[in-house]
Amino acid sequence: MPKVSQQHRDARREQILDAALACFATRGFQRTSMADIIAESGLSAGAIYGHFEGKQQLAVAVAQRILGHRMGEIEDSLTAGDLPAPSRILRTMMDGLRGEVRDPGLLVQLWGEAVTDPAISGVIGPTFVRVRAVMGGYLARWAGERLGMAPDAAAGWADEVMPVFLGIGQGYIVQNALLPGFDADAYFRGVADLLDRL
């Protein structure tokens, strides 16, 4: 029997994650079954279960992939010239989420699952290590370059501001998911008024 390459395994894993995300986005997390994901992927049940034990593990992997993509976008934007304003950083993250997830309600559903499912809640801490590193570095740099703070003071300021900064992004997701007629452009104009003048 020929040996399967790591490249093939990685491509198959991405195919499965694409199928899971498509199902979660159209049916919601609770209403999606493993049978739905198997059908969407076009693969056999054995091929799916050879990579993932079940729906919870798939949800965790999907969340990690989405977050990884967002952090990659932010890292790219921080090396592309002038330092972007805080509202621009948040908009980059949220536009990327909207493009990949399609329905922000899916994220709200996963947060709800994380309250009671240890498999999903357990990924939050390790995953947010990278978020804190990337966003903390950005905020400290902003404080140094735009607010004239010394490095230690800038790092301390970034630690204090981080939960609020991320909370604004989470607020966008919740309002976009729950409020009919939510105006993303108006939201980010308000974010710019609050943050970019610091």
At residue 118 the predicted structure's pLDDT band, cuts being 50, 70 and 90, is confident
| DSSP per residue, 32-93 | --HHHHHHHHTS-HHHHHTT-SSHHHHHHHHHHHHHHHHHHHHHHHHTSSSPPPHHHHHHHH
Confidence label for 107 from pLDDT (cuts 50, 70 and 90): confident
Which pLDDT score, from 0 to 100, does residue 159 have?
92
pLDDT at 24 over 70: yes
pLDDT exceeding 90 applies to what percent of the chain? 34
Q: Within a 10 A sphere around the Cβ of 193, how many other Cβ atoms?
A: 10
Position 172 scores a pLDDT of 94
Q: Which two tokens stand for residue 161?
A: 């501001």
Place of tokens 């996963």: 110
**This model's pTM is above 0.85:** no
Q: Give the pLDDT confidence score for residue 92 in this predicted structure.
A: 87
| pLDDT recorded at residue 33 | 92
pLDDT at 27: 85
pLDDT at 55: 87
pLDDT at 3 over 80: no
Give me 142's structure tokens.
């902003």
- 8-state DSSP, 179: S
Q: Specify the pLDDT at position 186.
A: 95
Render pLDDT for 128-179 as a digit per residue (tens, 0 to 9): 777 888 888 889 999 998 889 999 999 999 999 998 988 999 999 999 999 9
Q: 109 vs 172, which has greater pLDDT?
A: 172
Share of the chain above pLDDT 70, in %: 95
Mean of all residue pLDDT scores within the chain: 86
Domains and CATH numbers, the chain: 1-52 (1.10.10.60), 61-196 (1.10.357)
Selection from 76-80, 90-94, 182-186 with the highest mean pLDDT: 182-186
Q: Tell me, what's the pLDDT at 1? A: 47
The pLDDT assigned to 4 comes to 66
Q: How far is the C-alpha of 106 from the C-alpha of 124, rounded, in Å?
A: 16
